[in-house]
Each structure stands twice: as C-alpha cells, then as structure tokens.
Structure 1
Amino acid sequence: MTRLRTFYVLVATQIFSLIGSRMTGIAVGFKVFDDTGNTAPLLIAAFFAELPGMVGGTFTGLLADRWDRRYVIMLGDAGQAAGTLLLLVTFVTGTFELWHLYVAMLVQGVFGTIQGPASSAAITMLVPDALRDRANGLNEMGFPLAGVVAPVFAGLLYSVVGVSGVIAFDLLTFVTAVAVVARLHIPRPDRSAESDDLGGSFWREMLGGWRYLLSRRALLVAVIYIAFIDFVINGPLELALPYTVSVTGSESTAGMLLGAMSFGALAGAGTIALVGSVRQRMRIILAGYVALGGVFLLLGVVRHPVLLGAALFLVLFPLPLNGALFSSVLQAKTPPDLQGRVFAVTGQMFMLMTPFSFLITGALVDDVLTPAVSRPAWDAVAPLVGRGEGAGMGLLLIGAGLLILAATALVLVYAPVRRLETDLPDYVGAAAAAGSIEAVEVPAV
C-alpha cells in the first residue's frame, strides 16, 4: 500500500467516525429536547465540546509533533469513544442526567483537540504537494458530508432503536477507526533546523507554533485575518434556522433551506477535491472571502425561498474550499515536525472568539435590532430589509457582509499576504519527502 492509499483509508475511517458522532449529537438532542423542552442544555453541551480547543490547542500540538501521529490519532478516537461509552451506560441504566452529557462532551472535546493537529500534520507525510489541495479538499468534505448523511440515519435509527442504539452505532465507528488506524503506517518527520531553534525547555517547545508564526509576519497576518472572518460569521450563521423560519413562515421550508447550506459546504470541498491542484492559493482564498461578503449582503435582502436557498448554498461554498487551500499553504510553509503545533495554534485562534460571536450576535438581534424595527429610525434601512419578521437579522447579515469585505480589502492592500506564497519559501525538506512518497510501502490493511 502506498502512502497515498494510507491517506485515503485514514480519511474514510475518520469520516465514518464523524458521521457516527454527528448521529449521536442529533439523537441526544432529540432525547434532551423531548425530556426538557429546552434548547439551553444543548448549547451548554456545545460550549463544553469546544472549550478544550479554545484553551488547550497549544499543548496538544506538541503531542502531535513529539509522538507517533498514528498513536495520537488512535488516542483521539479512543478518548472520544470513552465519552460516548459514558453516555451509553447512563442511557442504558436509566441514570442519565444533563451533567453526564456535559462531562461526555468535555471528554470528547479534549480528545478531539488532541487528534485534530495530528490528522492535519499527517497529510504532509502521506500526500505529495501536487495532490495536497485534493487531499485537504477530501478531508474538508467530512463535516458537510456528515451534516447531510447523519440526520437521515439518526432519524431512522432513533425511531427504531432509540438513543441508546444510535450511541452504540457511534461507539462502533470509533472502534472501527482505532482498529484500522492501528494497522496503518504514518512516517515520522525528520527533525528540522527550525524545530531545533524553537526547542529547548518543555515550555519553549510547546510555544513553538506561536513563535514560528510570530517570526513570519505575513503568515501570522493571514491567520489573524481568517480568525477574524470566523468571528464575524459564526454568530450570524447560527441564525440560519430562526432567520429562514421568520422569513418563510414555514418550518418545513426552513429545513429544506438548511439542507441547501450543507450541500453548499459539500460542493465547496468537493470542488477543490475534483480540481486537485491550485496555483496562487492565497489569491483564491481572498477571492473566496470577497464572494462570501457579497453573499452575506444578498442573504440579508432576499426573501423568496428559491433565492434564499441559492444564497444559503453559496454562503457555505467558499468556507471548506478556503479551509482546504489554507491547510495546503501551512503544510507547504511549515517543517513537518512543527506542523502539529502550528495547526494547533491556528485552530485555537480560529475557535477562540466563537463563543463571543454567539453572545454578541444574540444580544444584537434580541436587544438592539429586533426592537429597532418598530422605531422611526428604521426607515433608513427598511428599503433593504423591510419591517417584517426577520428584518433585524437581515440587517445583521448585511453588516457581517460589509465587515468581511472591509477586512478583505485591508488584507488585499497588504502586499505581503497577497505575495505570501512567493515571498515565503516552501519548506525544502517537505518537498523532498513528497518526491519519494510513492516509493514507500506500508503494511496492508
């Protein structure tokens, strides 16, 4: 089996596991909402799942660089399986309480944070640079694919075997992933001069990802820019359900429109996977964010369900595409033995402001924009968003689009980011390793 085939097996097993996890999330959501009638427990559970990534990424990146990445990926799957097993035991024994869910989500968040940097860094050792865009595109397809597939299977299984049956299936996906990864071989990167320069004490090594970015200003600015875009869009994207219900007045129509969002993300990741290799990645990333800003403007003003569906499809289309391309940029510019820490730091920056985006968005919509609809000052924006249901949320979406366009304009003016790929050389050792990939054999699965 070549390294490239190892990558395909690894991605397939991780997507299978992700589908199981999404199914559990949906089934537990059904059960908790049926029992409590409240959505707050699900939001609190989501917070606990994201908390480790917000605060612990710097440490987990060091694990990915210092340990065998195959074992780190297996540890991530096994730890998440432990959280799933905890939930299964509580439901089977009839002792489930909400705090069990919070603990399980925290455990899964910890081990998911451990696994993420190792999975991203492993791609460099398995896929040559010429195919890395396609590989990252396939990797990005996992989340939207699970978003399309998981609700269907979760709904079917939940009606037949209940929440315990769905969780048992999820546990099976984790066991399968660990068993498959245990038989793969992911080469360990050679020690680089850059890593030696950033080494020394435990703390110096742990902070290596931050120090690597700080010494490469254009790359750091690009990461901060993408983190800002994530902050701007995370809250507004969470408004998709209430916004579509408010505008269309139909839960069934809103459900179909949300499906269009998932297909948009799947199509964006699929596009880069089909294209395979892209030149001038940063320019395409910046163009993608310009398009994203324009789509947010469109989403804020359209009201017809067909136009809403098109806008929702397009609003998620560039996100996995840009994510795949920026992963390729990081993989090309970073020594392989530093990539765990760099991916951990960038992931931490991308996630850090997410809760604040949710809080600010909720406060703006509920306390400022929705009450303002009935006031005379609203006349200034009524030609754009009207005065009907969802008008306040529509204005927020327009504001998000303008912020995206303004931030992108500033980055476009900053030439070092535009020229990042040409001015910052690729890591030579990674390119040399890529050239010999197909000649390396690994044990068959």
Structure 2
Amino acid sequence: MRTFIILWFGQLVSLLGSGLTGFALSLWVYKSTNSVTQFALLSALTLLPSIIVSPLAGSLGDRWNRRQLIILSDCGAGLSFLSIGLLLFIGQLEVWHIYVATAASSAFGALQWPAYNAVISLLVPPQHLVRANGLFQLGLAVSQLITPALGGFLLVTIQIQGVLILDGITFIFCLVTLLLVRLPKSKTMVKAEGLNKLMWHDTLVGWRYITDRPGLFRLLMLFCIYHFFEGTAGVLSTPLFLSFTSTAVLGTMLSIGGSGMLLGTAVITSWGGGKRRIYNVFWFMLLGGLCLLLAGLRPDVVLCSVGIFLYFFSLPILISSKQAILQSKIEFEVQARVFAVNGMLINLSFLLAYLVAGLLADHVFEPLLTINGPLAGSVGKIIGVGPGRGIGLLFIIMGILLIVAIVTSYLSPRLRLVESELPNVISH
C-alpha cells in the first residue's frame, strides 16, 4: 500500500497540472479562433488517439516492464506540452500545434493506463481495491472542482506561460515518484512466450477473455451504454442550462457537480464498497439515470443543480466498484490487454456520443418543442416549449433508457452473480 500511495500521489499532482494546462489551452484556442467547432475538436482529439493506441497499450502493458512503460508515457506526455510552451515563448504557437500536442499527449496517456490498472491489482490487497480506485477518482474530482476557478485565476495572474511552467513542475514531481518506487513484475514478464504476437492478436485475446465470461461481457456492455449517455449529456448540458440561466450560474452549477464528485470519492474510499460491488453498480447507475431524467423535467436551476450533484456523487462509486470487479476477476497475465479493450470500447461510446449529440439536439429534438412544434401541444405542456426544451426531452428519454438497461441487466443472473461465479484471482 505504501508503494501504491506514492504512485497515486504523483499521478494526482500530475493530473492537476495537466488539467490546468488543458483548461488554459482550450481557452487560448477559443479566443484565438472564436469557433465552437475548433473548440470542440480538442475533445475529439483526446479520444481518437487513445482508441487507435489501445491495442498497442494492451499488448505492451502485458509484455513490457510496466514501470518503464508508465515512465515512458509520462515523459512523452510531458514533452508534448513542453513543445507547446517553447512555441509560445518564441511567439510561434498556432492552433494546429495545440491539436498535435493534445493528440500526442492523449496517445501517451492511453499507452499507460492499461498497465496502470493492472499494476493496482498487484499492489493492493483485494479488500482495498475499491478504495484504491476511489483514490484515483479523487484526482478527477479535485480537478473537476478546482480547475476552472484556479485556472481562471492563474491565467490572470501568471498567464498561460506560468500555467505551462507549473505543469512542467508537476510532471517532474510525478516522474520522481515513479523513479522512487519498485513495482512487482507480472508472471507474463518472466515468460518467453508469444513475444512476436501481433497487436491485433493481443486485442483479440483481451476481447475473447471478456466474451468467454458472460458476466464480464454484460458488465462492459452496460458501461458502454452508460458512457454513451454520459457523453451525450456532457455535450448538451451546457446549451441546456444556458437556455434558462447565465454563464456565472452555470459555473456555480458545475462547481456543485465537482463537490458531489468529491463527496462520492470520500464515501467510497472510507466505505470500501462492501462485499457485493455489483450492487453498487446497479444502484448508483440507477441514481445517475434518475438524475438525467430530473435535469430534463423543468428549466429550474435548483432542480438541475440537485441532479448534477447526485450524478457526480454516483460517478466515483460506480467507476471504482467496476474497476475493482475487473481487477479481482481478470488474470494478471492478460489484465492490461483486457483493460485496453475496455478503454477502447468506452472511448468509442464517448466518441459516438460526441458525433450524434449535436445532430440529435439541433435536427430532431429541439424542433419538436419549438413554440409551434409537433410536440408543443402534448409533451410541451408538461416540460415546456422553447429553446432547450427539446434537449430536456432528450435527457428524459436517456434517463428512462438507462433505467431500462439497468433493470434488464439486473435480471441477468450472469451479471448479477458475476462476483460469485468467477473466481477471485487475488489471494488475501
């Protein structure tokens, strides 16, 4: 656990630095181009490289020295943003440079996470896996809570150059923590088998490992559905909330969401998730579905703030419980490959959401609930008409569909009993 805490703390500091840099660069792109499309392209560039790199990440995560792979990935991501800093200092920075650096940083990040997830199960006793994953969610929660406010303050005081220097300092700190720890080797690393296997074959190994175990496969499919709705809601929440409130209030609502995520992280790390972690998945995903439905019902700041708070509160409990199930049920020798497949499918779910969210809102749902729209006289009498109400209807439908998916999954014995039917690969 001592090694894990050192590893986690280094990544937490690095995550905060990267979050501040990402916030600063996204504002720089938006102010330089005044284009929402250019601004949104940064989100796509954080997903596409990770999807492409996932097969390589899974293969290397099970065949290479995982500590060296994590160090290499951190160095690559750090150098990507260092190049941005140099171009900015000499006055040659252009928007396409940021696209390239963002894509490169995303690729290096994707390269390390399967190995990282596999390392956790080698360091942490099984009874503490949920807590360990909860600590990783803490970094995301803190970033969600303080990055917008702190990033805005730092941009005014030390400007973007100072933010990039600060990110460089956090990168060096993270690298030092990695150099201080020694990580256990997996069994695969001492075998000489299959070193010439192709990446696509390793990806198939990870995929077949999941599909041969119906409980794990259904768990993954349920999370793909969940993340698709999460991605759609993430894209459309800003236009939905700005249809009835100001940007200042929106910022407060997002900070409320960050505080909910922080509280959820505190709950799961102190509680530990209990013995039946699959029930955490069912109940807190159900809460997320109810929050989507709640946010779409009325254009009300208080109602939507409650929905945002509860949704983000459920998120770290969900993710930590799912990760702990996978880490305790997947054999060490293939964990990185399985986590790579898992990450690739989830990123595809997000990418699909980003591609269809705008089309669904602009061309399908918003026209339905204009003042004289086709549903103005029926659904419109319940949830209202005008700007944002079509998106509200989409939120309600997504909430209902997610609840249906959860109930259907609960009725599947293979998923409901996944922790009982699959052997635990970690000994106490």
Task: Give the structure 2 partner of residue 13 of structure 1.
Answer: 10
Question: Which of 152, 157, 180 in structure 2 is aligned with 1:155?
Answer: 152
Equivalent in the alignment of 1:142? 139
2:428 counterpart of 1:407 = no
Aligned mates of 1:62, 1:412 — CA distance in 2: 33
- Structure 1 residues 101 and 197: CA distance shift in structure 2, 3 A: same
Aligned residue in 1 for 2:301: 305
Determine if the alignment matches structure 1 residue 67 to structure 2 residue 89. no
Q: Deviations over 1:390-432 (max 9, x none)?
A: 21111010011011011112212211100111011112xx21x
Of residues 381, 390, 393 in structure 2, which corresponds to 1:392?
390
Q: 2:238 aligns with which of 232, 237, 241?
A: 241
Q: Does 1:261 align with 2:260?
A: no
CA 1:44–1:111: 2 relative to 1, 3 Å? same
- After superposition, what is the alpha-carbon deviation per residue over 1:260-280, rounded to whole angstroms, capped at 9, x for unaligned? 122222222221111124211
Q: Determine if contact 1:199/1:208 at 8 Å carries over to the other structure.
A: no
Q: Is the 8 A contact 2:55 2:202 kept in 1?
A: no
Superposed counterparts of 1:122-133, under 5 Å: 122-133=119-130
Aligned to 1:105: 102
Whole-Å Cα distance in 2 between the matches of residues 182 and 112 of structure 1? Answer: 18
Cα root mean square deviation, aligned:
2.0
- Secondary structure of the residue aligned to 2:293 is helix
Q: Does 1:333 find its partner at 2:329?
A: yes
Q: How far is the alpha carbon of 1:367 from its aligned partner? A: 1.3
2:348 counterpart letter in structure 1:
L
- The answer to whether structure 1 residue 78 and structure 2 residue 75 are counterparts is yes
- What SS class does the counterpart of residue 376 from structure 2 fall into? helix
Deviates further, 20-29 or 263-272: 263-272
* CA distance in 1 between partners of 2:193 and 2:183 (Å): 25
Write out the 4+ residue segments of structure 1 that deviate beyond 6 Å after TM superposition: 195-200
Report sequence identity in percent: 30
Structure 1 distance, partners of 2:56, 2:374, is 53
Question: Alignment partner of 1:187: what SS?
Answer: coil
Match of 1:417 in 2: 415
> Is the contact between residue 145 and residue 257 of structure 2 (CA under 8 Å) also seen in structure 1?
no
Change over 3 Å in CA distance of 1:70–1:197 after alignment to 2: closer
Map of 1:322 onto structure 2? 318
Whole-angstrom CA distance in 1 between matches of 2:375 and 2:162: 54
Q: CA deviation at 1:349?
A: 0.8
Contact 1:58 1:209 in 2 (8 A): no
Aligned length: 425
Residue 88 of structure 1 corresponds to which residue in structure 2?
85
> Does the CA-based 8 Å contact 2:54-2:341 persist in structure 1?
yes
Deviation at 1:37, TM superposition (A): 1.7
Give the residue type in structure 2 aligned to 1:288.
Answer: F
TM score, norm. by length of structure 2 = 0.94
Distance between the aligned counterparts of 1:392 and 1:128, measured in 2? 48
Q: Any conservation in 1 of the 2:16–2:147 contact (CA below 8 Å)?
A: yes
Shift in Å at residue 131 of structure 1?
0.9
Q: 3-state DSSP class of the match of 1:379?
A: coil
- 2:50 pairs with 1:53: yes
Matches of 1:197 and 1:379 in 2, distance apart? Answer: 67
Partner residue in 1 for 2:343: 347
In the alignment, is the contact (CA less than 8 A) between 1:74 and 1:178 conserved in 2?
A: yes
Structure 2 portions without partners, runs of 5+: none
The unaligned stretches of length 5 or more in structure 1 are: 436-445
Q: How does 1:433-444 map to 2 (within 5 A)?
A: 435=428
Give the Cα separation in 2 of the matches to 1:376 and 1:192.
62
Q: Does structure 1 conserve the Cα–Cα contact (< 8 Å) formed by 2:296 and 2:394?
A: yes
Alignment pair present for 1:368 and 2:364: yes
Secondary structure at the counterpart of residue 35 of structure 2: coil
Aligned residue for 2:15, secondary structure, equals: helix
Question: Paired residue for 2:183, among 186, 189, 210?
Answer: 186
